[in-house]
Structure formats: C-alpha cells, structure tokens
Copies of this chain bind each other. A is one copy, B any other.
C-alpha cells in the first residue's frame, strides 16, 4: 500500500476515538480493555498501534478531543456579543452541552465524568482538563463582567468568584444528569432565576 494520506490518517484516528468513546461510555475508562476498543473499531490490534501509542494515548486523546469539540460547540455562547442574562444563559449553556454530548449510540457526559476520575491518577490528564477548564472559566469571567456592567450581577463581587460559581453549577449539572438522570437544562435556568429574583437581599 502506498503512503496513506493525511486525511485518511486522521479518519482512522477518528474511527478509533469514536470506538473508544463508545467503550468508555459503556464500561468506563479503566475497565475498557484495549481489545474492547480494537473490537469496536473493527481494526486489528497492531493496526491500531500505528495510530496510537497505547491505551493511555487513546484515553488522553479521547478526553482532549471531546473537550476541544465541546469548546467549539459552546464558543458562540461564551464569546458572542449578545447580552443574554444569567438564567437564560445558563439554560442555553446546558442545552448546548446536552446537544454536544448526545451522539447516535453513546453520550459524552459519562466520558466527562470518567475524565475527572482519570485526572485524579494521571497528572497529564489533569493538566489537559485544567487547561481547558481555565480557558473556559476565563470566558465566563468576561461574560460576568458584561453582566456587571449591565447591572445583571453585583459589581461589588469579583467576577472570578461569580464565574467559579457558575462553572460549578454547569459541572454539577453533569453529575446530576448522569447519576440521577431526572433533570434538564430548564430546571437550572429556573433555579438560578429563583435565586436572583429573591425579594429580600442576601448580604451574606
């Protein structure tokens, strides 16, 4: 066979990554064997090793790749110019996450959870996640500052604190969505509104 084209090479990698996602979705990251992925991808063991250096390489790439995709999917909501207020923004963000994670035969949310778990024991994975999340959070900070200028968030509180809080709410949604499986994006939009429109002030 002649040398494979760059495009074919990328397609092969993607094929393997998707197989890995399906396996991780079903069994978790650690419990997935390389043979599971090989079987799911329809390739031979050694063919796969031409495209990835090993299990860890697949895990890291699968996690990083899903985060890249998520970042691209949520970009407009994070950097867009329209001054949507917090509660609505929260609903849109979660809808965007749900939409991005739902795939034909698997869902990326559990993979996200597995990624957090993996990050606890693989410093490299943690650094990848950390990098993406910090970037993500920085974008939320910008959004919060816009809200502060518009009077939709208190200017007395550092924007970073608000951003961290909203980030937690987004991340925690994923936990409840995968463990309880009884809530949707609207719930948090309403919930956040319910906190923000309290009649009595809450000066902590």
Q: A77 an interface residue at 8 Å Cβ cutoff?
A: no
Q: Which of A94-131 contact B (CB under 8 A)?
A: 110, 113-114, 116-121, 126, 129-130
**Which of chain B's residues have a CB closer than 8 A to the CB of A154?**
193-199
A161 touches B190 (CB 8 A): yes
Task: Give the CA-CA distance A203 to B87 in the complex, in Å.
Answer: 8
Give the complex CA separation of A88 and B201 in angstroms.
12
> A191 contacts which of B26, B130, B161 (Cβ < 8 Å)?
B161
Q: Does A47 contact B (CB under 8 A)?
A: no
A188 engages B165 (CB within 8 Å)? yes
- Contact A190 B157, beta carbon cutoff 8 Å: yes
Q: For window 23-70 of chain A, which residues contact chain B by CB distance below 8 Å?
A: 25-31
Residues of B within 8 A of A144 (CB): 194
Give the Cβ gap from A112 to chain B, nearest Cβ, in Å. Answer: 9
Chain A interface size, under 10 / 10 to 19 / 20 to 34 / 35 or more: 35 or more
Contact A129 B179 (CB under 8 A): yes
Give Cα A31–Cα B32 distance, bound, in whole angstroms.
12
Residue of B whose beta carbon sits closest to that of A111: B120
Do residues B180 and A130 form an inter-chain contact, with CB atoms below 8 A?
yes
Q: A188-B165, A193-B157 are in contact. Are A199 and B133 (CB under 8 A)?
A: no
**Which residues in A have some Cβ–Cβ distance to B below 8 Å?**
25-31, 85-88, 91, 110, 113-114, 116-121, 126, 129-130, 133-134, 137, 144, 147, 150-154, 156-158, 160-173, 175-176, 178-180, 183, 187-204
The 9 closest A-B pairs by CB, nearest first: A165-B191, A157-B194, A168-B172, A30-B30, A172-B172, A117-B117, A171-B172, A151-B200, A161-B191
